[in-house]
Amino acid sequence: MAYCVFCEIIARRSPATIHYEDDDVIVIDNYLRWTPVMLLVIPRKHMTQEEMWSTFMAKVGSVAADMGRKFCPGGFRLLSNAGRDAMQSQEHGHL
């Protein structure tokens, strides 16, 4: 497998601000700051965006909604880009 920044963060070889983690997912600040709050919910297991949506989205979505309510109680939006044409910059699935 090629270099994956999310796998490096999960393995603690790259820095990140971690807001939540369990056996399945990790939530970090996105270094891109297009909005005041921009979090990434990332499966610990390396998988594509399509694999995440088809096999793991219930867990990822639940954690994302919990983090949204915690950090943005007035409302939040969830985004997911799938593929280069949709501006997905990391192969590792994330929301």
The residues annotated as belonging to the active site are 94
Helix H or strand E encompassing 42: strand 39-43
Classify residue 74 as left (phi > 0), alpha (psi -120 to 50) or beta.
Answer: alpha
Nearest CA to 63 among 82, 50, 76, 81? 76
CA angle, residues 73, 31, 5, in degrees to nearest 5: 120
- 9/68 Cα distance (integer angstroms): 21
